[in-house]
Amino acid sequence: MWRGLWTLVARAARGPGRPCARQGSGAPAPGSGATIFALSSGQGRCGIAVIRTSGPASGHALRSLTAPRELPRARSASLRLLTDPRPREPLDRALVLWFPGPHSFTGEDCAEFHVHGGPAVVSGVLQALGESTAWGSRSGPASGPGWGPGSQHPGPSRSLAFAHGKLSLTEVEGLADLIHAETEAQRRQALRQLDGELGQLCGGWAETLTKALAHVEAYIDFGEDDNLEEGILERADSQVRELEVALDTHLRDARRGQRLRSGAHVVVTGPPNAGKSSLVNLLSRKPVSIVSPEPGTTRDVLETPVDLAGFPALLSDTAGLREGQGPVEQEGVRRARERLEQADLILAVLDASDLASPSSCNFLDTVVTPAVARSPSGNSQRLLLVLNKSDLLPPGGPDLSPELPPHLLLSCLTGEGLDGLLEALRKELAIVCGNPSTGPPLLTRARHQHHLQGCLDALGHYKQATDVALAAEALRVARGHLARLHGGGGTEEILDIIFRDFCVGK
C-alpha cells in the first residue's frame, strides 16, 4: 500500500522541549521508536497525492509542517498551509488528517497529507519530512527496529498493521489482493478475505484443535482425577474426525482459489483458418494476433491476460492443429498440443461453414469428443465448442451431420453470438475458479494449501499415535500450522479451556 522509492525510516532523537507525539495518551515521545513516511497513492502526476507517516514522531512532524501548530481534531480533515520547517517557505495548501494510535490502520500514531499531485509538490513535502527536526538532527535515512539503513520495505503499513494486531495475516493478503485486483471476481474474493472470512474459518478450525488438545492434555495431567469427565479422548477423536473432513474438502478445492487470484489458463485451439486469432482479438479487445486467410499464420503460442466475463484469464492463441508444412509450423503445432494439456478451459473453434472438411472432422474426433467425455467426471479440463463464421451459414443453420456436441454459434466478423459466449465463459470459469460470491472462502495462495496439508498430515499422525503424549504432540503440530496460516494461538488458550471445561484444581 505504501509504494515507491520514498520509504524512509528514521529514529527521532528527542531534543530539549520537544513535545510528546501522543498528547495525553501516555505513549512514548518521538525517539522511542521508528517512524516511517512514504507516498501512498503511487507515482505519477495526479490531482491529489497522499503522503502518510506512521510512528511516534508523526504528531511532531504534522505540527512542524503545518500552521497553526496544534494537531487537528482526530480523524477529521483540516485545510492547512504546509511549510518547510527550516527555510519556512510554503510548500502547498493541503488537507491533513491525524490518526492517534492505537485507533489507526497501523496501530501507531499516523498522519496523512493530501497534497496536490505534481512531482515538485510531492518531492518538496517528502524532502521536508526527511529534513524536519521531527526526525532528529541526523540527515538522510536512519535505522529503526526491524529496518535497515535506507531500506525500502515492501508494504510497511501492512506490516505494521499486522505487527500491532490490526490485521491478521490472511487479511493482509486480502488487502494486497484487493489492491492488485483487476477483475470483478478478484475484487469480490479479495474483499471477502480482507473482511476476515478466511481468517474466521481458520480460527474456527484452530479452536476445534485447541479444544481437542486441551482434552488430551487434561487426560495426561489429570487422568487419575475422579472429577475428570469420562469420554474425554473419544470427544477429541470426534473433533479431529470432523476437522479432517473439513480440511480435506478445502484442500481438494484449493486450485480454484489460486486460479481466481492468478488467472485461469484458457487455450483457443482448432484447425487452420477456423478463426482462432479473430476470436482471441475479439475477447481481448485488441489486435493480439495477426489475422490472415493464409493457413498456418500463427506458428507460436501468443498469450495475453484478459478479463473474461469478470474472471481473470490467460488467453492463449495457438497454431492450427494439422500436419505441419515445415519445421517452424511443426514446432508451433507441438507447442499448441503442449498448451492443450495445461489448459484449464479449452475454447475449441471450428469453421461453421466447413464442418465436413477432413481437418474439422479430425479435430472433432481427436480433441473435442475426448474432452467432452472427460469433463463431467470432475475438475479436469473443460471445453466449449464454438462454431465461428456463422455469418456465412445459410438460413437453415450449420450441417449437423455428423451430430455435433453442444456448441455455440458465433461470428467474429459481426459480433453476433458474443454475449452468449461470454455468458457460457462466465459459467465455466465460475466452475474452474470458484464463485467468489457464494460458498466458503477460497484458498488463494500456495501458502494456504501448504499449511492446511501440514495440518491434515499431523492429524493423520494423531490417529496413528500409540501413546497419548505423541497424540498431543501431533495436535500441537497441527495447531501450529493453522496458527502460521492466520496468526495467533498460544499455550494460554489451552490452559484457559482446560480450567474452563473441567473441574480441575477445585
| SS3 letters across 85-102 | CCCCCEEEEEEEEEECCC
pLDDT at position 137: 31
Cα angle at 293 between 292 and 298, to 5 degrees?
50
pLDDT at position 145: 31
| Residue written as grid cell 473433533 | 239
pLDDT at position 500: 57
The one-letter amino acid code at 153 reads: H
| Residue written as grid cell 462466465 | 426
| Residue written as grid cell 503460442 | 301
The one-letter amino acid code at 351 reads: D
Parallel, antiparallel, or unpaired: how do β-strands 8-11 and 34-39 relate? antiparallel
The one-letter amino acid code at 199 reads: G
The tens-digit pLDDT sequence of the chain (506 residues) is 333 222 322 322 233 333 333 333 333 333 346 788 888 877 778 889 999 888 888 888 898 888 777 888 899 998 999 988 777 888 999 999 999 988 888 888 899 999 998 888 988 898 888 776 444 333 333 333 322 222 334 455 666 666 666 777 888 888 888 888 889 898 998 899 888 888 889 889 999 999 999 888 888 877 666 566 667 888 889 999 999 999 998 888 767 888 888 889 999 998 988 888 999 999 998 888 888 777 767 777 888 999 998 899 999 988 878 776 778 878 888 888 888 888 999 999 999 888 888 888 888 888 888 877 765 544 457 899 999 999 888 876 666 555 778 899 999 999 999 999 999 999 999 988 888 888 788 888 888 888 999 999 999 999 998 888 999 999 999 999 998 887 655 555 555 655 555 544 43
The rounded distance, in Å, linking the Cα atoms of 444 and 174 is 9
Phi, psi torsion values for 193, nearest 5 degrees: -70, -40
> Under DSSP, is residue 4 helix (H, G, I), strand (E, B) or coil?
coil
* Angle between helix 156-163 and helix 169-180 axes, rounded to 10 deg: 160
| DSSP H helical ranges for 40-196 | 58-65, 119-131, 156-163, 169-180, 184-194
Residue pair 370/272 in contact (Cβ under 8 Å)? The answer is no
The rounded distance, in Å, linking the Cα atoms of 205 and 189 is 20
The rounded distance, in Å, linking the Cα atoms of 466 and 463 is 9
Task: Confirm whether pTM is higher than 0.75.
Answer: no
* C-beta neighbour count of 409 within 10 angstroms: 18
pLDDT at position 261: 86
Cα angle at 340 between 337 and 346, to 5 degrees?
140
Q: Exposure of 93 by Cβ count < 10 A (0-12 exposed, 13-18 middle, 19+ buried)? A: exposed
The one-letter amino acid code at 366 reads: T
